[in-house]
Amino acid sequence: MRLYLFLLVSLLICHPAVGEDAPLPTYGVERKAPPGMEGLVWNKWDTDHFVVLSIDKSQGSELFSDAESLRAETLARWALSGNDSFFCKLVCVPDADMLRKLFGLKEPKCEVRRSKSGDVELAAIWIDHGRIRDLPSLVAEAELEFSPHQRFLRRGLPILERDAESIRASVAKASDSACSSILDERSSAAMEKSDRLGFDASCALLCLMIRREYGSAAFGSAVRCSPSSLHEEMGFRSASDFDKTFARYRDNLLHDIESGDTPDEYLSPAR
């Protein structure tokens, strides 16, 4: 299925363009579709870092206008420098039913393709317009795969680019066992594999703690330092002290969320 998705998008990208007037699509091309969806036309727009493919022209034009600013705002909110090689194919369909029928996806999805050496070559996002609110999270996920950021940042930050209700639901899955291993790349890789949701939620809480309790400047410093030196960068005497502080923060915040005492604004520091 993954190979099929990338091949389909690649075919759409490689078709020669025939139009030039922005924001109108540069071309439309018919593709085979499941029964009942014959005659669909994919419209294409190009930006510096995105190729937008959309069945609906108005929806695609909107994405064409917003994609670059959305990426820039995400980078600015989280003190990320971005990667010049970032390139993303953004595929949008009108509704969830079409997303399922055309691509076999129940939810919007981000996926990256890597070279044999492990470097990210491109990212692709599949989304339906009814869930376009998920796009900032997916763009953040794609962006972070292009740079050697710490695992906790790659797994946690996209969660915090969602709406407050979604953040609450996600961080509630935070795992106790992820606390002590979250900054250890080898241990966190194993934890991510065995308890993906719990690990991702813990990573989101760590991002939130640094951003909210220590400020945007501290977050910017944390982004750029190595996992082994994060506790020093944050002013802690040892990694153990940092882990204990994070554990207390996690438990207190989850209690407040469950009690309804945490305002939406706190959970969405980027907004």
Quick one: 139 and 160 in the same domain? no
Most confident residue range from 115-119, 128-132, 214-218:
128-132
Quick one: 211 and 170 in the same domain? yes
Residues 244-256: tens digit of each pLDDT: 899 999 999 999 9
The whole-chain average pLDDT of the chain stands at 81
Of 77, 78, 245, 233, nearest to 153 by C-alpha is 78
Average pLDDT over residues 101-107: 92
Which of 148, 175, 204 is the last residue in one of the domains?
148
d(CA 158, CA 226): 20
Which of 133, 148, 163 is the last residue in one of the domains?
148
Quick one: 222 and 184 in the same domain? yes
Of 143, 123, 138, nearest to 82 by C-alpha is 143
Quick one: 84 and 144 in the same domain? yes
Quick one: 121 and 220 in the same domain? no
34 or 74, which is more confident? 74
Q: Which residues contact 266 (CB under 8 A, 6 or more apart)?
A: 212
Quick one: 168 and 60 in the same domain? no
User: Residue 190's pLDDT is what?
Assistant: 64
Quick one: 188 and 136 in the same domain? no
Range of the domain at 87: 2-148
Residues 190-220: tens digit of each pLDDT: 666 667 888 889 999 999 999 999 888 888 8
* Band of pLDDT at residue 17, cut at 50, 70 and 90: very low
| Contact criterion met (CB below 8 Å) for 214 and 151 | no
Quick one: 142 and 159 in the same domain? no
Residue type, 72: A
d(CA 52, CA 133): 16
Q: What is the DSSP letter of 178?
A: G
Residues 54-84: tens digit of each pLDDT: 999 999 999 999 999 999 998 888 888 778 8
Quick one: 163 and 141 in the same domain? no
Quick one: 140 and 10 in the same domain? yes
Of 82, 67, 239, nearest to 149 by C-alpha is 82
User: Residue 33's pLDDT is what?
Assistant: 55
User: In whole angstroms, how far apart are CA 124 and each of 33, 111, 121, 136, 157?
Assistant: 20, 5, 10, 14, 18
CB burial class (10 A; 0-12, 13-18, 19+) of residue 186?
Answer: exposed
- Total domains in the fold of the chain: 2
d(CA 124, CA 6): 8
9 or 20, which is more confident? 9
Res. 259: pLDDT tops 90: yes
Which of 96, 116, 148 is the last residue in one of the domains?
148
Res. 9: pLDDT tops 70: no
Average pLDDT over residues 140-145: 90
User: Residue 38's pLDDT is what?
Assistant: 60
What is the phi-psi region of residue 91: left when phi exceeds 0, alpha when psi lies from -120 to 50, beta otherwise? beta
Quick one: 78 and 8 in the same domain? yes
User: Residue 122's pLDDT is what?
Assistant: 87
